[in-house]
Structure 1
Amino acid sequence: MLTNIMYVTLYVTDQDRALRFYTEQLGLEERVDYPGPEGRFLTVGVPGSSLEIILWSHAAASGQPAEAQPDTAPGPVFLESDDLRNDFKVLRDRGVTFVQPEPEDYAFGVRIEAVDPDGNRISLRQRGRASRGDG
């Protein structure tokens, strides 16, 4: 039986820049940094969580800028917060780029979208009381 999600991959154009963003700005921890024969295997994760994000080197597509693109489709990574409005202030002060000026309430809690240096969307969420099943 399947028991866990091990990895989620994000394609980045500069692994060192991505590592600084995910650790220094978002506050994730570096897990693995291995210079393997098929390329550098670099992962980060939320402290205390077993899921790791692979920051896989991938050249920018022809005609596509490597800079953050705030109007791109929602991202592949959702990170959960227990106090998103407070975390938003901390992350904003660390220089994280957000799509909206402030977190917004929605049917299932509070949300805001961040963008990494390669334009990957990072969806930050705080569940509402009803979505936790406690009323």
Structure 2
Amino acid sequence: MRIIVTSIFVEDQDKALKFYSETLGFVKKHDVPTGEFRWITLVSSDDQDGTELLLEPNDHPAAKEYQKKLFAEGIPVTMFGVADVPKEYEQLTKQGVKFIMEPTEMGEFTIAVFDDTCGNLIQIAQK
């Protein structure tokens, strides 16, 4: 058994697609109409057959509440691995990404947390 798709709720699929592809560098794998919304997944440019990230519309009231509460509490919805957190922090900051936690050492990990502009906090980490 392996993880093939993981999802995050987003307020606006088009805005999220732009942020995750143009700012973070993920590659769009699927963009399929599903009625009012779309099945949009992205993958790492380094592993295009790897785990897909689904940009899930937060249209359901429970999804909206979940997303708002996590954001308000400062809890990241997911974590992305990077080779060098300080370097990634510097690069993303230059692109206008707002971090709520600068690179911080936590034991054997270095982490940072940013706002994805779509209602989520995302943590990046390196070991």
Moved more, 18-27 or 30-39: 30-39
Q: How does 1:86-97 map to 2 (within 5 A)?
A: 86-97=87-98
Q: Structure 1 CA distance, aligned partners of 2:73 and 2:109?
A: 23
Q: Which has the larger radius of gyration?
A: 1
1:64-96 residue CA offsets vs partner (Å, 9 max, x unmatched):
7x99x8643422311111111111111111111
Unmatched 5+ stretches in structure 2: none
Unmatched 5+ stretches in structure 1: 128-135
2:30 to 29, 32, 35: 32
Q: Which residue of structure 2 aligns with residue 111 of structure 1?
A: 111
Letter in 1 for 2:26: L
Distance of aligned partners of 1:119 and 1:72 in 2 relative to their CA distance in 1, 3 Å threshold: farther
Q: Is the 8 A contact 2:20 2:26 kept in 1?
A: yes
Q: Structure 2 CA distance, aligned partners of 1:72 and 1:119?
A: 12
Q: How does 1:35-114 map to 2 (within 5 A)?
A: 35-37=33-35, 39-49=37-47, 50-59=50-59, 61=61, 71-100=72-101, 102-114=102-114
**How large is the RMSD of aligned CA atoms in angstroms?**
2.5
The total of aligned residue pairs comes to 122
- TM-score (ref. length: structure 1): 0.78
Q: Which residue of structure 2 aligns with residue 13 of structure 1?
A: 11
Q: Is the 8 A contact 2:5 2:53 kept in 1?
A: yes
Letter in 2 for 1:110: T
Q: Structure 1 CA distance, aligned partners of 2:3 and 2:44?
A: 14
Distance of aligned partners of 1:85 and 1:60 in 2 relative to their CA distance in 1, 3 Å threshold: farther
Determine what percentage of the aligned residue pairs are the same residue. 25
